[in-house]
Chains A and B, each alone.
Chain A
Amino acid sequence: MRPRRILGWVLAAVVLVGGACGGSGGEKKQSGSAAAPLVGLFKIDGGQCSAAGVTSGSSFRMINPGGKLGEGPFISNGDSPCGDKTYSPMFPGSDGGLRTGVYQPEVSSPFDSGGNGATEILAKGTPFFAVRFAVATNQKDPQTSANTTIPTIEVKDGKLSGNLSAFAASWNNQHFNQGSPKPDGTNPGLTAGPTGTYDAATKKFTLEWSSQIVGGPFNNFTGVWHFEGTFQPKS
């Protein structure tokens, strides 16, 4: 009886191990249709204003504390050129847009004498309540001093996802992490995304994420970022 029982256990173990191996083969199969990293430049189109707000291109909006994604209430920016001042159009900086696989850090003196954000690599400074804000992706987040993840965007079935924890805004001598997820990997409040669409044929993309400010004067306000344009793979 005992040798038979041992044989039974051995067979069971073989079946289990075999099953596990089979499982990993399935994952490999799945990995064929898994999210593919998009490494390169997400070249952004400048925001185009209308009476209704930004109708095309890239823009920024900010939700008041207690608001909801997609519903607001959004704060109005007196320096927005749009009819609907809850939209602030954004324009490409010297790099042309957001790079994945590398950081686009803020410059060593991130503010000019007027408190305007001085970094214009990813995007040009955006006038916001009389002061321009700048954006950057930093290895060390200037607000929290936490280490971030290098920006990544993946595509699966035309849908974008990724990690933009390194994304930060600087305005009026203040830093605000605007990543999603946050550098510590969490998604507080309305922090969500990035999500979006990608057309492999035309390389056109839309990329959106929201990031709730944690700490500082605008604690619990949420930045909503909308980038659109054309992806240029890293050559």
Chain B
Amino acid sequence: MTVSDFDMAAQRRLEEARTNVATRKKADTAAAGRRGPMVAVLVIGVGLLAAPFIFQMLFFDNRAPKGGVMINEFRPYMTDARITKFDGFMDLINRAEQSFKTDLRPQVAAAPKNPAQQAALASVDDWASKWEGQAGIHADMTGILRDVRRNLDNYKAVDNLPPFKLFPFFFIMPGLIIAGLAWASLRRMRRGVGAGGLGKALLVMGVGLIAAPFIFQMMGGENRAFQGNSMINDFKPIMTNARVTAVQGYFPVMGLAEGQIRNQLVPLAKASSPGAGSGAVNEWSRQWPAISSEFAQFLGVMSDNLDNFAAVKALPPFALFPFFFILPGLMVVGLTVASRRQTRSS
């Protein structure tokens, strides 16, 4: 072999290598095009996985467990029977206030009084003035009870959802599975093989995500997400530190008045008229320990859950939650189908 023969052979090998590189580059570009949708599916999986942390459902503010605690602690009060009982208490106190003004007060006002009795009358007058009117204790408390009653069905719908503390895992688990399947599919694609069964599994996961809000009746059926949204919106003006502090302040006013009526004014009126002290006033005194206990417990739940409510309020609106499943589900299905089509066509 001459030197020129060697040169020609080398030239041939060089050209072959160049052709191979160009072919491989072309194949790689085509494969990257096929992998694109699957990379997007991987990103959606990672997004689902990250969502509970981004929304602070888990860690930092721990909003999902806090929401769960709130739902649990309110449960004994969110019944028609309990709210009806509270309404009955308010009605009784209102009747006692009316009775004080029309029956007891005129008798007491006319009677000679010692300083303690005088002070008692002033305390009860103070309560009566704070009780009445558009911004009075009665209007405020019955308004709160009305708002709570209006949301009994909404609360029930939210309570029928799976426990709040599980919600982060409804994102994390599908996120993990989808990301894992997409990752495995990409590895197969890199070897020039289609996603195969993994693609089918991704389709199932996507359909599962789309179906989840309907299965849990977040949408459709009880429309729980939307009802939860209404409840959170209705409770926003109630579950504030200022409002709860205001209601706390009603107790000493009401309690003082009840004590002054029972200890000072009724005995004073009875001194001149043994039949004094109307049924409603006496009934209020008789029931006041139970009334104050019941209201105190409800107020305690409200007060103790201000932080929990704030955490739930800081989550994205409940009405959006179904779409946090449906949209990723639709995208996973669409992208997986696209990926399979591209693989077939290539």
> Is residue A173 within 8 Å, beta carbon to beta carbon, of the partner chain?
yes
> Is residue B163 within 8 Å, beta carbon to beta carbon, of the partner chain?
no
Whether B289 contacts A172 by the Cβ 8 Å rule is yes
> Per-position contact with B for A31-56: 1 when CB-CB < 8 Å, else 0?
00000000000000000000100000
Whether A130 contacts B115 by the Cβ 8 Å rule is no
Considering the complex, give the chain B residue whose CB is closest to the CB of A79.
B259
Q: Collect the chain A residues with CB atoms within 8 Å of residue B256's CB.
A: 75-78, 85, 129
A131 to B116, CA, bound (A): 21
List the interface of chain B (C-beta within 8 A of A): 115-116, 119, 123, 244-245, 248-249, 251-252, 255-260, 262-263, 285, 288-290, 292-293, 295-297, 299-300, 303-304
> Is residue A220 within 8 Å, beta carbon to beta carbon, of the partner chain?
yes
List the interface of chain A (C-beta within 8 A of B): 51, 64-65, 75-79, 83, 85, 114-115, 129-131, 172-174, 215-221
Quick one: which of A78, A114, A173 contacts B262, CB cutoff 8 A? A78
Quick one: which of B115, B262, B289 contacts A131, CB cutoff 8 A? B289
Given contacts A76-B123, A172-B293, A220-B245, contact A129 B259 (CB under 8 A): yes
Whether A215 contacts B293 by the Cβ 8 Å rule is no
A172 to B300, CA, bound (A): 13
Q: Collect the chain B residues with CB atoms within 8 Å of residue A85's CB.
A: 119, 256
Whether B297 contacts A130 by the Cβ 8 Å rule is no
A-B pair count, CB < 8 Å, reads: 89
Given contacts A77-B259, A130-B292, contact A174 B297 (CB under 8 A): yes
Quick one: which of A64, A77, A216 contacts B249, CB cutoff 8 A? A64
A140 to B296, CA, bound (A): 23
Given contacts A115-B293, A174-B293, contact A129 B255 (CB under 8 A): yes
Whether A130 contacts B285 by the Cβ 8 Å rule is yes
Whether A221 contacts B248 by the Cβ 8 Å rule is yes
Given contacts A51-B115, A65-B248, A75-B252, contact A172 B296 (CB under 8 A): yes
Specify which of A64, A83, A129 lies most central, judged by the most chain B CB atoms within 10 Å of its CB: A129
Given contacts A51-B115, A173-B297, contact A217 B263 (CB under 8 A): no
Considering the complex, give the chain B residue whose CB is closest to the CB of A84.
B119
Q: Collect the chain B residues with CB atoms within 8 Å of residue A220's CB.
A: 245, 248
